[in-house]
Amino acid sequence: MVGLVKTPVLRLFSLNSPQPLMRKVYRGKDIEVSFDLDQCVHIGECLRGEPKVFQLRRRPWVLPDAGEADTVADVILRCPSGALQFRRLDGGPDEEHDGTTVTPVLNGPLLVVGRIEVQREDRTIEVLPRATLCRCGYSNHKPFCDNEHLKIGFKAPGWNSRSAKRTTPAGQTRESTRSRGRGTWSRSSASTSRRA
Ligand code: SF4
Ligand code: FES
């Protein structure tokens, strides 16, 4: 992954979220999963990654014990927005990052991984390990992406279809962010409803 910026910590101010975010906790035997719908960018990595654990039409939609803790943790690490987080209860490794990196998604948000401190209007601070930040300027949930870039057909400065087709040896497009080759960003139609 090629980061634009590497820094120990990224500090953000969120004027659109005066209240601390509402994070729901799903406790299993070996791992505890938490989820904040306000952070979710609905691209469905969780649903594809471990369908036994993350099932949209089931209540609760997260069942941590339905999968191996290592697999659940691995899937959550691929959640770009930080909506999903985990805490190991079995002594397994918790999420850790060496510094903080910022990487652009092709014609989409900036993906930040590391330590992100978000200060709300009421001066409370939430620390996120991952976040997707708006770079189209049209999000209604700034500084976070809320997928408005898809509606407006955002094209990043300097983007052109020829450069987008140039691939790395790993098969990723130049601006891609994810080890699984998600060079483009598409909202999952299966992941847009409210969850509990
Ligand atoms: S951002 Fe994607 S991976 Fe994360 S919770 Fe939402 S749908 Fe799942
Ligand atoms: S980049 Fe996604 S809403 Fe702006």
Q: Is 79 in the pocket of ligand 1 (CB under 6 A)?
A: yes
Confidence of residue 111 (pLDDT cuts 50, 70, 90): very high
> Is the C-beta atom of 45 inside 6 A of ligand 1?
yes
- pLDDT above 70 (res 178): no
Domain boundaries, the chain: 3-11+21-88, 101-186
Beta bridge mates, 118: 12, 126
pLDDT of 24-56, one tens digit each?
999 999 999 999 998 999 999 999 999 999 999
pTM: 0.83
Q: 137 near 74, Cβ under 8 Å?
A: no
| Residue 105 Cβ contacting ligand 2 at under 6 Å | no
CA distance 27 to 24: 10
Cα 3 to its chain centre, rounded Å, is 16
Stretch 123-128: mean pLDDT, rounded?
Answer: 88
Alpha-carbon distance of 82 to 180, in angstroms, equals 17
Of residues 116 and 6, the one with the higher pLDDT is 116
Report how far apart the first and last C-alpha atoms of the chain are (Å, whole number). 33
Task: Enumerate the H helices of the chain as residue ranges.
Answer: 45-49, 69-77, 148-152, 161-165
pLDDT digits (tens, 9 = 90+) for 55-93: 999 999 999 999 999 999 999 999 999 999 999 999 999
- Our answer on whether the CB atom of 103 is closer than 6 Å to any ligand 2 atom is no
SS3 164: helix
**Residue 41: which region, alpha, beta or left (left: phi > 0; alpha: psi -120 to 50)?**
alpha
Using the mean position of ligand 1's atoms as its centre, give its distance from the Cα of residue 10 in Å. Answer: 21
Give the Cβ contact number of residue 177 at 10 Å. 27
Q: d(Cα 171, Cα 52) in Å, to the nearest integer?
A: 29
* Nearest ligand to the C-alpha atom of residue 81: 1
Q: How far is the CA of 83 from the centre of ligand 1 (A)?
A: 6
- Statement: residue 192 has pLDDT above 50: no
Find out whether the beta carbon of 72 lies less than 6 Å from any atom of ligand 1: no
> Ligand 2 centre from 150 Cα, in Å?
8
Highest mean pLDDT out of 4-18, 61-75, 118-132, 179-193: 61-75
CATH code at 3-11+21-88:
3.30.70.20
CA of 107 to the centre of ligand 1 (A): 18
| Rounded Cα distance, 173 and 86, in Å | 29
